[in-house]
Structure 1
Amino acid sequence: MGFYDDLYAEERKTRRKNGAGRLILTSLASAVIGGLLVLLMLPTLSKAGYISLLQPNQAYAQNRANAVAAVNTNSPVVPVSVSVSSATVEAVEKVEDAIVGVINIRRVTNFWTQQTGTVESGQGSGVVFEKKNGKAHIVTNYHVINGAERVEVSLPNGDRVEAKILGADPYTDLAVLEIDGSEVTTVAELGNSDTLKVGEPAIAIGNPLGLEFSRTVTQGIVSGVDRSMPVDLNSDGETDWELDVIQTDAAINPGNSGGALLNIQGQVIGINTLKIAREDVEGLGFAIPINDVKVITQQLMEHGTLKRGFLGITPRDLTSIPRYAWKQELNLPDDVKAGVLIWQIGEFTPAARAGLRQYDVIVKLDGQEINSGAQLRKYLTLEKTGGEQVEVTFYRDGFLKTTTVTLGEQGR
């Protein structure tokens, strides 16, 4: 009996499966046939007025009209105002009206007519850092006003006023201008460049390519804080000065010179001065640290020039002297790698009175190593003044000696 029961059950399952399959096929066929009939009858039903057909563009237009009508019947439209604010925006707003344009006006002579006249020979930027006694003081770069017969300042409101040059120094590339302060509304806050850290935000603001792009803002980071740039003022191939600078990748272009480098608090941390412009170099801009600027601008306002301790020698880098002469002529020990050769020495100068002679090689001032004439000038300018003493360590005929020089005073 078991065998027949199983056979009976299998037959019943087979019949059920076949019945379900036929039902599904019948349903699908009915749906397809019904859809085709409806599509075929649509034009007839539309003409008879039973249904209304809209083309795609008509449907879009109808929907848009319905939406506009719905809006018009509801409450009036309220404009949406979005306020965008950030630390950078706030920093720029704090100082932007203290950034001015500086115009260098020179006198030139026409080659053909031999008549002279004045022309604008260049434009740069400046920062208003002080306002007192009805006057406003502006710091800019020396190279911005170099050779000018007259200097004008373009204010944020578009007015141009004549400026007086209070002082300028080519070595530090700084100058201070004075204008009437009645139209100056903002004075920049000076920060502390000694606390800068590599990687913190830096914002450059100035007038790249002239006044047409006045107070342009670019942003980057502080890329380096212990940089020194060699400066050759007389184009003789020898470094005359080593300018301490802050390195940044914020875009600095011609016309930005004299503008401000800001921190994220809107404080001035440097005065933009130069960039390395080569096809294979990007993002190498430099600014003079504001702590140096504070000291130098004070002297420029007081004296008109940057005074330095006067030694009375003509220095020459030891590294520019042929190597064979180090041993044969100067008798220097093998461990001497750099220094400053006294190429010439003036009679009755502070150096001569202290016993220094021609061809002595200076290696230290006050115990600080001096490797070049630029370092020597920098030390005597920023660290010493006339009347102060400096301990000079030098080599003569192979022997290390020390003497103390009472410095004179010399303005540049």
Structure 2
Amino acid sequence: MSDLYKPFDEQINSTPNEEPIKPNPYEKPVEPLRKQKKTGGVKSFLSMLTAGVMGSALTLGAVTYTDVFDFLKTEAQQNAAPSTEQLSESELATSVVPTSNSNNTTASLADVVESASKAIVGIINYQNQSNPFSGAQGTIQSGSGSGVIFNVQGDSAYIVTNNHVIEGASEVEVSLYDGEKATAEVVGADALTDLAVLKIDEKYATHTLKFGDSSGLRPGDQVMAIGNPLGLDLSRTVTQGIVSAIDRDIPVETSAGEWELSVIQTDAAINPGNSGGALINTNGHVIGINSLKISNSGVEGLGFAIPSNDVVPIINELIENGKIERPYLGVSLADLQEIPSMYLQSLPESVKGGTMVTYIEPNSAAANAGLKQMDVIVSIDNEEVQNSSDLRKYMYGNLTTSDKTTLKVYREGKEIDVEVNLSNSKSPTN
């Protein structure tokens, strides 16, 4: 995660507010390397880059966002207090209900919060750890966050949270509104969109929350954040604020690579432990999942939530497939600004942007297409590529696992086109 944007569930004993504000938090300086007479120096440098970006590059792919939602709810249903709702198998895929984000509900805010809070849970991440003295394996609490019960189907209740809340967990425990605790099963998780779906026994779910339509949000709309700041001792804390801005693109670093999240900005007070909790409107509908905050000293009231209209298609696919299916390229990448100029001398002066291939996985789509180490990708399907994020954005928004795409690359100073038959990440050889 970027130094500037931090998940809410940082360790409580950390001191993010003591960290000085950096002039450019996105800058990634690269130490200058001594020039090598032999090509071994280039390979050594590429090996270092590969180690740093391996995880991100191997998950390049496309997330298909569905823009069609089910608007069959009646006005009475939209304004009713949230409650447990049994859905048919075809409706297990959650939908967005149309909602007004202005304060026109007849219920008081206290009534809305009281009802909504019953669907907010605490989430504890337990991880295996070896005793350094005895060598014995044990389970310790690694972190905590929040979640939202959004669906009940059959004997299961479904919870949405952030991926970074449950990432790396050997066991996930959910703390319910009434104090009961339940072991949760991870249905699916996606690091790039920072979303995860958990499942618990339906007997623990007394309430669910509906997703409201975040596309109608405007700066100034009243919102409330509900979650568990600083752990379960302050569970279901409610803070109030407004939508400060919409359509913010925030750069984040995840275990699956660098990405830009499109988020809602709010000044509702949020703290470590709020990750995965609900940002609701005055109708009690979830219009965002709280995910990020500015953690620098002297900064107040800058929190960010993933819009509900982005959340819904992701959690639907996670429920259906357990993961987000993405086309598989099979490369590690390093942007040109990360590479010392001595390794870019063969590039024409007119090339100002692009991303270099530093590693190619055997039998991957890239390997089968003939991509080579040190190829510099400058466009995909005639869309300019300034960096690896541009490449990801295009693939995520425009391509599927069965598509063919054309990469324009520079190899030893010459421009060539490489056609790639994208494959599924489950089977890189297809």
TM-score of the pair, normalised by structure 2: 0.68
| CA pair 154-346 structure 1, distance change in 2 beyond 3 A | closer
Separation in structure 2 between the aligned mates of residue 355 and residue 332 of structure 1, nearest angstrom: 25
- 1:350 Cα deviation after fit: 2.4
Aligned partner of 1:288: which letter? I
One of 175, 197, 202 as aligned partner of 2:223? 202
Matched, 1:307 2:318: no
More helix by share: 1
Matched, 1:279 2:300: no
Separation in structure 1 between the aligned mates of residue 130 and residue 161 of structure 2, nearest angstrom: 27
Aligned 8 A contact 2:191 2:255 in 1: no
One of 335, 338, 342 as aligned partner of 1:317? 335
- 1:87 Cα deviation after fit: 5.3
- 1:179 Cα deviation after fit: 0.4
Aligned 8 A contact 2:156 2:200 in 1: yes
- SS state of the match for residue 233, structure 2? helix
Separation in structure 2 between the aligned mates of residue 189 and residue 107 of structure 1, nearest angstrom: 35
Separation in structure 1 between the aligned mates of residue 382 and residue 308 of structure 2, nearest angstrom: 27
Matched, 1:388 2:403: yes
Indicate the residue corresponding to 2:152 in structure 1. Answer: 131
| CA pair 356-244 structure 1, distance change in 2 beyond 3 A | same
Matched, 1:298 2:316: yes
Aligned 8 A contact 2:346 2:413 in 1: no
Indicate the residue corresponding to 1:118 in structure 2. Answer: 139
Aligned 8 A contact 1:252 1:274 in 2: no
Identity rate, percent: 48
Indicate the residue corresponding to 1:372 in structure 2. Answer: 387
Matched, 1:186 2:207: yes
Deviation sequence 1:51-72 (CA, Å, 0-9, x none) = xxxxxxxxxxxxxxxxxxxxxx
Separation in structure 1 between the aligned mates of residue 367 and residue 169 of structure 2, nearest angstrom: 38
Indicate the residue corresponding to 1:329 in structure 2. Answer: 346
| CA pair 306-318 structure 1, distance change in 2 beyond 3 A | same
Structure 2: where are the runs of 5+ without partners? 1-105
Structure with larger Rg: 1
- 1:151 Cα deviation after fit: 1.1
- SS state of the match for residue 241, structure 1? strand
Aligned 8 A contact 2:409 2:416 in 1: yes
| CA pair 370-129 structure 1, distance change in 2 beyond 3 A | farther
Q: Which moved more, 1:221-230 or 1:379-388?
A: 379-388
Aligned partner of 1:244: which letter? S
- 1:1-400 aligned at under 5 Å gives the runs 88-233=109-254, 240-323=258-341, 325-326=343-344, 328-333=345-350, 336-346=351-361, 348-381=363-396, 383-396=398-411
Structure 1: where are the runs of 5+ without partners? 1-84
Aligned 8 A contact 1:137 1:178 in 2: yes
Aligned partner of 1:191: which letter? G
RMSD between aligned residues? 2.7
Deviation sequence 1:339-374 (CA, Å, 0-9, x none) = 222223345532344454433332333444433223
Separation in structure 1 between the aligned mates of residue 418 and residue 134 of structure 2, nearest angstrom: 60
Deviation sequence 1:155-181 (CA, Å, 0-9, x none) = 111111111111122222221110011
